[in-house]
Amino acid sequence: METLEHSEKIIAERYRIIGKLGQGGVGITYAAVDLNSNQKVALKALSLRLTTEWKKIELFEREAKTLSGLNHPGIPRYIDYFQVDTSQDRCFYIAQQLAPGKSLAQWIENGWKPNEAQVRHIAYQLLEILAYLQSLLPPAIHRDIKPQNIILQKNGRVFLVDFGAVQNTYHHTVTGGSTVVGTYGYMAPEQFRGKAVLSTDLYGLGTTLLFLLTQKFPSDLPRQKLKVKFRDRVSISTEFAEWLDQIIEPAVEDRFQSAKDALLALRGEQPSGINPEKMFKRSPQSRITLIDAKRWLFIHIHPDRSPSRLKGFFHFIHLTCKVLLPCSLLLPIFHLLLGVIPVPLGSTVSLFKYTVADWLGKLFPLFVFISIIAVIIFTVFYALMCLCWIDYYLFTRPRPIQISPQDIQRVKLSGIHLPLLKKSMTFCGIRAKSRNYCFGLFLPQAEKEWLVGELSDCLSKLK
């Protein structure tokens, strides 16, 4: 893919390139004009021919998928994701609203020296953006917070851009992220191990704020046991200095645990004693509340007030079996009694002048046939009733479960096959030393995967 900044080239018969905005680890970003709306856009491009790592394509697609689901005034609006094939190459493009203004790095290069109030104002806005990202399903981690990726307008409004390194917590906890991404100096120590948590972005924010206050790259500042020492180089209030000290702590457990916690502390409010990054309803429709309180992980799956069709079908089968069971048992007993009770065969006791013996001779085969059909139907319905029992006692019946981390051997998603319904379902499973625990059968698949990931992550920390 040739350099397009001066080519005025039109991409996909819609976007006309007018200049180059920047180049990162994943793609080149151009300023372009949308010919349909005549609005300026940011067009990020990735060439397949010039890409030496498949991981970059994965990150590019992940960025597009993440951006398509974002809706925040501090994040440029997603427009489109497409590809253009030529005889020599295939290029992928992400079109986004162009954030007006200059990056923080450009402001500093131009001689801007912000005071504490201005830096605080930037911190407030960025924390609100990060708090939004951390409230998503699943939470998103930017992983590359730095001055080049923060756009500042003259009126003080801030935009967060370049989601090329974005990662969600499910991808990390379930699949085990190992790719080291970020920018040296602004990367949290855990990123060098290929790990990212919610407070990882807070470290990048803290070092970015230090860059604004000191006018120096964080890598150029002195350190003591990995901790950046900055107090003798800035003129700020003790309160703000203490807040900065905590947000750039090298150890994850010593930092603020989430953007919401950091925002509360910056406002002078007391953060909660639990980890807010995992205390949220994942969506308005979610039934899960997860609370991470240091040595304990509390999971509350709220009862479903509007059961699914499958659950309703199970309950219908359960009620039907209550009727079929006595009927299928009574018919054979009735036949047995007819065979042992003596009947005066010569007497006429019924309509149409038929004797009792005549009636028995005609109806007994019918009774036998009905009994066989009833037994078959009951057998099928009994199997479904067992599923109702599994539903209630294993997945629906509310009961507290308390497990010691030392007893847990494995956490995974397990499956159950329903041959009669030609359907397979998954549930969350915990294998302990004494017994196995199953739950979450009727949760959405994404929430099951997320929950298993959170449990696995918590278990690895506690052990």
Is the separation of the CB atoms in 429 and 344 below 8 Å? no
Mean pLDDT of 403-427: 75
Task: Report how far residue 40's alpha carbon sits from residue 169's, in angstroms, rounded to the nearest whole number.
Answer: 33
Instruction: Give the range among 147-151, 308-312, 414-418 with minimum mean pLDDT.
Output: 308-312
Task: Report how far residue 162's alpha carbon sits from residue 84's, in angstroms, rounded to the nearest whole number.
Answer: 21
Q: 102: which 2 tokens?
A: 């200059």
Task: Report how far residue 100's alpha carbon sits from residue 143's, in angstroms, rounded to the nearest whole number.
Answer: 23
Task: Report how far residue 462's alpha carbon sits from residue 141's, in angstroms, rounded to the nearest whole number.
Answer: 22
Is the separation of the CB atoms in 43 and 84 below 8 Å? no
**Superfamily (CATH) of domain 102-280:** Transferase(Phosphotransferase) domain 1 (1.10.510.10)
3-state secondary structure of 163: coil
Mean pLDDT of 182-186: 80
Could you confirm whether 144 is annotated as catalytic? yes
User: pTM score, two decimals?
Assistant: 0.58
pLDDT for the residue numbered 399: 59
Instruction: Give the range among 301-305, 310-314, 407-411, 442-446 with minimum mean pLDDT.
Output: 310-314
Q: Which helix (H) or strand (E) covers residue 443, if one does?
A: none
Residue labelled with tokens 């807070």 = 202
Burial class (CB in 10 A: 0-12, 13-18, 19+), 105: middle
pLDDT at 455 over 50: yes
3-state secondary structure of 400: coil
34, 80, 85, 144: the catalytic one is 144
Q: What is the pLDDT of residues 334-393, one digit of tens each?
A: 555 555 444 444 444 444 444 555 555 556 666 666 767 766 776 666 666 665 555 555
Parallel/antiparallel/unpaired status of strands 423-432 and 223-224: unpaired
Q: What is the pLDDT of residues 74-96, one digit of tens each?
A: 999 999 999 998 888 889 999 99
User: Helix axis angle, 238-247 relative to 259-266, nearest 10°?
Assistant: 170
**The one-letter amino acid at 450:** W
pLDDT for the residue numbered 51: 77
Give domain 10-97's CATH architecture: 2-Layer Sandwich (3.30)
